[in-house]
Amino acid sequence: MTTDPQHPDTPAHCARHGRRRRLAGAATLAVAGAALVGTGAFSSWGATASATGGLTAGSVSVGMVDANGGTFSTAVGNLLPADYFYRYVDVTNSGSAASTFTGTVTATGALAGSLQVDVTSCSVAWTTVSGASTCSGTQTVLASGTPTTGTPLTVAHGSIATGAGNAQHVRYKVTFASGASTSLQGATGSIAASVSNTVVGGTDRTGG
């Protein structure tokens, strides 16, 4: 066996081999450490919190309930000039929140333009005593006018809270014009009342 004088066989005499071994050892440790990290060998402490808020979609619903013993849709025949009749309706907000209601009264047929309509609300239910309708609470005139073809009478019902207990007690008085032309003898038509509300979202509900 020959020996290179620049490169003795004994480790003690080989500085280059020593550096290589140290580098190799360090590399081995580095690779092993990386492998440990990669395989999740380190223990970890974790905590998770959650909160749930109940969300419910709102609803919009309007009710017109016959009131004071009458029925709105009951036909009225043989009207003479200055004849009149009453109809009573409870307007209810069956939706999920108070909102503003508007209404219309429409007259159709040959009688459009000849039916005077007066819409009045009462803070309590209407009653009829001896044929006369009375309001023992506060009366409020909601609208008054003569609907014509294409131009209904607009009724401002205002804000109505939800629930049957907050119903708006509405009376419609319909009067056939005292000066109606005799050409209207035997004429037919109809009177229709509508109530609606519109709810638009887009409000900040952070607070509820």
Partner 1 sequence: MTPSRRRRWRRRAAAVVVAGGLLGPLAGTAPAQAAPWQGSATATAPVSTARWGSGLTLVAGAGSVAADRTSYSLSTTVATQAGYVDLANTGTVPATLSLDVAIGAVVGGAPATVCSVAWDTTADTCAGTTTTVTLTALVGRTAGSYTSPGLVAAGDAVHLRVKLGGVVSGVTVTATTVVPRPAADRTLG
Question: Which residues contact partner 1 (rule: CB under 8 A)?
Answer: 58-64, 66, 70, 72-87, 89, 91, 94-95, 111, 115, 131, 174, 176, 178, 180, 184-202
Work out how close the CB of 38 gets to partner 1 at its nearest, in angstroms, rounded to a whole number.
48
Work out how close the CB of 106 gets to partner 1 at its nearest, in angstroms, rounded to a whole number.
9
Using an 8 Å Cβ cutoff, are 62 and 195 in contact? Answer: yes
Looking at the Cβ atoms of 28 and 61, the one nearer to partner 1 is 61
Looking at the Cβ atoms of 24 and 76, the one nearer to partner 1 is 76
Looking at the Cβ atoms of 14 and 83, the one nearer to partner 1 is 83
Looking at the Cβ atoms of 48 and 73, the one nearer to partner 1 is 73
Output phi, psi for 184, to 5 deg: -85, 5
Work out how close the CB of 208 gets to partner 1 at its nearest, in angstroms, rounded to a whole number.
18
Looking at the Cβ atoms of 95 and 145, the one nearer to partner 1 is 95
Q: Show the tokens assigned to 185.
A: 């003898």
d(CA 152, CA 170): 17
The CA dihedral of 106, 109, 114, 115, to the nearest 10 degrees, is -40
Looking at the Cβ atoms of 125 and 187, the one nearer to partner 1 is 187
Work out how close the CB of 128 gets to partner 1 at its nearest, in angstroms, rounded to a whole number.
8
Work out how close the CB of 193 gets to partner 1 at its nearest, in angstroms, rounded to a whole number.
5
Work out how close the CB of 41 gets to partner 1 at its nearest, in angstroms, rounded to a whole number.
52
Using an 8 Å Cβ cutoff, are 86 and 133 in contact? Answer: yes
d(CA 59, CA 120): 27
Query: In Å, what is the CA distance from 52 to each residue of 46, 49, 55?
Result: 21, 10, 9
3-state secondary structure of 23: helix
| Cβ burial, residue 164 (10 Å; 0-12/13-18/19+) | exposed
